[in-house]
A and B are shown apart, each in its own frame.
Chain A
Amino acid sequence: MADFPANLRYSVEHEWIDDASPATVGVTSVAADALGDVVYLELPEVGATIEAGTVVGEIESTKSVSELYSPVSGTVVEVNTAAVDDPAVVNADPFGAGWLFKVEVSAEGQLLSAEEYAQHTA
C-alpha cells in the first residue's frame, strides 16, 4: 500500500488539500503516475469561485487529457504559475512544488484521510 502524507486529506478524484488557510490543492502521486508525463496545465483563474466536485481545469499529459476537479468550494486566491510554465513538476513532486492552486475554503466536499485514501487506491 502506498504511503500518502498524513497531514493532507484526499478526494476520490485524486486531489489532495492541506489544512492551511488558504488551503493548497494538488493532485496525488497516484494521479500523476497514472497520467504519465504532464505537459500542460489549465488552472482556474485567481478570483474565480469554484465548487466542490466540479471541473475547474485540465491536466494534459503526453498521452491523455484529464479534468481537474476541486475537492472544496471557495475562492481561488493563487495559482502555481511555476507549474504552468514547467508542468513536469507535477510528476516530480506532486505533494510539494507540484501544487496547483490555493483556495479560500467556504465548504468542503467529501474528503478522505491518508489511510482511507490509501485503501481507496489499493
Chain B
Amino acid sequence: MPETVPEAATAAATLSPLHDEHVALGANLTEFGGWLMPLRYTSDLAEHKAVRGAAGLFDLSHMGGISVTGPDAGAFLDHALIGNLSGLAVMRARYTMICAPDGGVLDDLIVYHVAPGEYFVVANAANAATVLVALLERAAGFDAQVRDVSANQALIAVQGPRAEEILREVLTEDAEISGGTALDDLRYYACLGMRFGDETVLVGRTGYTGEDGFEVWVDVPHAVALWRALLAAGEPYGLVPAGLSARDSLRLEAGMPLYGHELDTTTTPFEAGLGRVVRLDKTSEDGTPVDFVGREALAARKDSAPARVLVGLRGTGRRPARAGYPVVRPGADGAPGPQVGTVTSGAPSPTLGSPVAMAYVTPEVSAEGTELAVDVRGRAEPFVVVALPFYRRG
C-alpha cells in the first residue's frame, strides 16, 4: 500500500508556529492549503469522540487572518462580501462569503467586528491569497485599510462540551478589554478580549464541529505557551489534541460545508442551501440599496429553481462514500443505476455508526427519505436522503 505512507513535506509547505509541538506529540502531518498541519495525533476516531464527549484542541493557524480598519470598513465589507457587515454589532461574528461577479463562491468566511471601524476576516488557508487580493481590489474608493495579519497570529480552537471550563483555567476575564462581557454571557458567534497572562487574546464562541467551543487568536510569540497551557489544563477534563481528520468528520456530521467540496467558484450560496447568507436587502446608512460584488447574478438566481441541491445521505451499509463518487439510482441486482448526483464529502460517522455523506443531486431525488445509492468503486451501496445536519448537540 505505497500510497498510505505519509507524504513528505514539500519545501513549499508553510509550518505552523506550533509545528514543533505537533512533532513532539507524534502527530501524523499532512499538507493542507499549502501548510503542513496535523492530520491526527493518535486515532481519528478517538479524537472525534473526545470532541463530542469532552474537548479537543485544534491548531488552526493555517486559516488566513485579514484585518480591515478605517471609517468605511463596514461599508467596504458590505460592498465586498455578500453579507450585511455594517449591521454587525461590535463583538459579534458572522458567517458570510465572498463571491465573484458571477455569484460563484470565492471563499466562505467568518468576520468578527472587534471594535468600531475594526473588522477581522477569517479565510480558508487555500483561499487566503485570493481573498486578500479581492479585498484589496474591492477597497478602491473606500477609506479602509486591508492588511494580511496571518503571519502575526496563531489560531487555537478548544471545541467540545468541556471547552468553557477548560478555557477558564487558562484565560482570565478583564472588564476593560472585554467591554464588560463575561465568558458565561458570551453568545454563539460573539467574541471578546481576554487575558492570557499579560497578553490579550481574541476569543470567539464559534466553531466548526457542531459542539460548543471557542477559537482563540493569539500573537505568534505566545502561541506555544497558550497551546501548552490549554493542553495541560484540559487533560483532567478529557481534552486531547485533535487533527484535521477529526475536524473533517466532525464538521461533516454537523452538516457544515467545506470549501473545495460543497463550495467552489461554480457554486452559488443558494445551491449549497446557504441562501440566507445572501443579503440582497442590505442598505447603506441613508437607506439606499448596497450594490455588492455578485449582487446582480445572485439576485437573478434567487428565485430560479437550482439545477442541483445539496443533500445529506446516510448509508445503510458499511462502506463509506467518498468525495467525487457518483450518486445513482439503485439499479437491478445491486448494480449502479443512472447517475443523479455527486458526493462532495463522505466518511463513516463515528457518532451515528454509519456512513454519512453530503452530495449535490438533481432536485427530483432530493426529498428526505428518497432511496438512492452511491457507486462505491463499481458497487451500488445503499444510501437514503436525510435532513442536515446529521448530528445536532443535545
Interface size of A in residues (CB-CB distance below 8 Å): 28
Given A40-B318, A62-B348, A63-B245, A35-B4 contact (CB < 8 Å): yes
In residues 2-33 of chain A, which contact B (Cβ within 8 Å)? 12-14, 27, 30-31, 33
- Of B39, B40, B248, B348, the residue contacting A39 (CB under 8 A) is B348
Q: A69: CB under 8 A from chain B? A: yes
What per-residue 1/0 map shows which CB atoms of B28-45 lie under 8 Å from chain A? 100000000001100111
Given A14-B1, A37-B43, A62-B6 contact (CB < 8 Å): no
**B4 and A34 within 8 A (CB):** yes
Q: How far is the CB of A54 from chain B (nearest CB, A)?
A: 13
Chain B residues touching A, majority SS: mixed
In residues 26-81 of chain A, which contact B (Cβ within 8 Å)? 27, 30-31, 33-37, 39-40, 58-69
Residues of B contacting A64 with CB < 8 Å? 4
A10 to B4, CA, bound (A): 16
**A59 and B1 within 8 A (CB):** yes
Interface size of B in residues (CB-CB distance below 8 Å): 23
In residues 278-327 of chain B, which contact A (Cβ within 8 Å)? 318-320, 322
Given A39-B348, A40-B319, A62-B45 contact (CB < 8 Å): yes
**A37 and B44 within 8 A (CB):** yes
Residues of A contacting B45 with CB < 8 Å? 37, 62, 88
**A66 and B1 within 8 A (CB):** yes
Q: How far is the CB of A89 from chain B (nearest CB, A)?
A: 13
Q: B84: CB under 8 A from chain A? A: no
Given A34-B5, A35-B4, A91-B43 contact (CB < 8 Å): yes
**A62 and B347 within 8 A (CB):** yes
In the complex, the chain B residue whose C-beta lies closest to that of A30 is: B5
A31 to B45, CA, bound (A): 17
Residues of B contacting A39 with CB < 8 Å? 318, 320, 348
Q: B2: CB under 8 A from chain A? A: yes
**B322 and A65 within 8 A (CB):** yes
Q: How far is the CB of A83 from chain B (nearest CB, A)?
A: 13
A30 to B2, CA, bound (A): 11
What per-residue 1/0 map shows which CB atoms of B322-344 lie under 8 Å from chain A? 10000000000000000000000
- Of B3, B28, B249, B320, the residue contacting A33 (CB under 8 A) is B28
A116 to B319, CA, bound (A): 35
**B319 and A62 within 8 A (CB):** no
A37 to B350, CA, bound (A): 11
Q: Which of A14, A39, A63 has the most CB of B within 10 A?
A: A63
Q: How far is the CB of B230 from chain A (nearest CB, A)?
A: 24
Residues of B contacting A13 with CB < 8 Å? 1-2
Q: How far is the CB of A34 from chain B (nearest CB, A)?
A: 4
A12 to B6, CA, bound (A): 15
In the complex, the chain B residue whose C-beta lies closest to that of A36 is: B44
- Of A12, A37, A66, the residue contacting B4 (CB under 8 A) is A66
In the complex, the chain B residue whose C-beta lies closest to that of A67 is: B1
**A31 and B4 within 8 A (CB):** yes
Residues of A contacting B320 with CB < 8 Å? 39-40, 60
Residues of A contacting B6 with CB < 8 Å? 34
Residues of B contacting A60 with CB < 8 Å? 319-320
- Of B5, B44, B318, the residue contacting A63 (CB under 8 A) is B44
Residues of A contacting B322 with CB < 8 Å? 65
**A69 and B1 within 8 A (CB):** yes
A38 to B3, CA, bound (A): 15
A67 to B249, CA, bound (A): 22
Interface residues of B (CB under 8 A from A): 1-6, 28, 39-40, 43-45, 245, 248-249, 318-320, 322, 347-348, 350, 377
